[in-house]
A = this chain, B = another copy of it.
């Protein structure tokens, strides 16, 4: 058999330990599929003594991970440290500069610095791979980069954050409110101690920006992703959605709104949405992720699986290593960075659709008249309106509406008209209704 692919591993947390376990457990089949053995030769992490449940004694320990790529006995570097900048980015730059294959699970770093890294990797003819950065064990980066390579992708959307989806689908089952469900998820290990990136939609936005760049062949622009999290979704919203035939999901969407043949106008958005119960995304519960891509020849494709966890993430990392061992080293974003189309941020307001609006208001006469007048003045046509007798905590009353198909701009205008109203006890929540 051919020479082994020799690997340096930076970061031995749960995913790193998973990679070590996978390469041990599946050594023979990985070697058969890669055409040669995959061998870890060196590791580096913050603590040398921490018990990780895997034996590191067979690997050289390196204190300064930035220097892993310098080793002559290393062909590829795996980065599992995390963080958009800092040690991870230094390591990535060093590895690529040294002509080593580079594999990472780091969505933040790729979303922020992926183009720079891809350009350097192309210049050096070095593979840069990040299957594990998006949707854990689901081979969706490969699916879009190669599987749907023949298609012009028109829409891509999905459930990209397992923690949020776990919380929303648990609220759906239990009827509990957001805060309680989050605490429970933290207790069970489904949410981190600091869950900000997950529940605020930032993690999903990282992944969406990466997928959009690959799918549309556009210059990735993480800052152009409109991001809204799930912290303001109430049990009452989920109950209303249920009555209307929907479930609530945090959906990342990227749509190509227009192209002048050169620049692509993309709307990239992460936002809680109402998903019809028959829609494939509605049955995605728990920490599962799912991505839908619509190509002009393939039609609608769905990729679904575990969005996180040591096993699935390790599966994606090692798939990338097998590709490198096989000599597969095409452009990281499907086409060379220089050929990615410039991207312009589309205005959400130009889109039309049905919208769910929820207000919390003081329980007094004239409130409904004020709200419906604002809708009328902004040209928003109300399809249904529910005000229930039930009074929420603090004496507020909940009013939910569904607006007929119409420009999102009008809904925003209606909310503007109500902005200074002292009838509202909190900013309203809007959710797009997916068709």
The answer on a CB contact under 8 Å between B299 and A152 is no
Of B26, B32, B290, B300, the residue contacting A296 (CB under 8 A) is B26
Q: Which residue of B lies closest to A143 (CB)?
A: B139
Question: How far in angstroms is the closest Cβ of chain B from A117?
Answer: 20
The answer on a CB contact under 8 Å between B335 and A312 is no
Q: Which residue of B lies closest to A294 (CB)?
A: B305
Tell me if A323 is interfacial: C-beta within 8 Å of chain B.
yes
Q: Which of A59-67, A191-199, A232-240, A326-334 contacts B (4 or more CB under 8 A)?
A: A326-334
Knowing A297-B18, A305-B299, the reply to whether A315 touches B150 (Cβ < 8 A) is: yes
In the docked arrangement, what's the CA distance between A280 and B290, Å?
Answer: 12
Q: Which residues of B contact A315 (CB under 8 A)?
A: 148, 150-151, 295, 297-298
In the docked arrangement, what's the CA distance between A278 and B309, Å?
Answer: 23
Q: How many copies does the complex hold?
A: 2
Q: Which residues of B contact A301 (CB under 8 A)?
A: 137-139, 303-305
Of B299, B303, B339, the residue contacting A306 (CB under 8 A) is B299
Best-surrounded residue of A147, A297, A317, A330 (most CB of chain B within 10 A): A297
Knowing A152-B26, A319-B148, the reply to whether A306 touches B302 (Cβ < 8 A) is: no
Of B296, B322, B328, the residue contacting A150 (CB under 8 A) is B322
- Report A1-56 residues with CB < 8 Å from chain B CB: 18, 22, 25-26, 29-30, 32-35
Chain A: interface residue total (CB-CB under 8 A): 58
In the docked arrangement, what's the CA distance between A177 and B139, Å?
Answer: 40
Of B30, B146, B217, B295, the residue contacting A322 (CB under 8 A) is B146
Of B137, B149, B335, the residue contacting A297 (CB under 8 A) is B137
Question: How far in angstroms is the closest Cβ of chain B from A322?
Answer: 5
Tell me if A314 is interfacial: C-beta within 8 Å of chain B.
yes
Question: How far in angstroms is the closest Cβ of chain B from A237?
Answer: 23
Tell me if A209 is interfacial: C-beta within 8 Å of chain B.
no
Tell me if A311 is interfacial: C-beta within 8 Å of chain B.
yes
Of B35, B131, B151, B290, the residue contacting A26 (CB under 8 A) is B151
- Report A110-160 residues with CB < 8 Å from chain B CB: 131, 137-139, 142-143, 146-152
Tell me if A88 is interfacial: C-beta within 8 Å of chain B.
no
Q: List 21 A-B contacts (CB under 8 A).
A: A25-B152, A26-B296, A26-B297, A33-B149, A137-B299, A137-B301, A139-B301, A146-B146, A146-B322, A146-B323, A149-B322, A150-B314, A150-B316, A150-B317, A296-B311, A298-B315, A299-B305, A301-B303, A302-B304, A303-B303, A326-B330
- In addition to A25-B297, A146-B322, 8 A-B residue pairs with Cβ atoms within 8 Å of each other are A18-B297, A137-B297, A139-B146, A139-B148, A142-B147, A149-B318, A150-B322, A298-B306
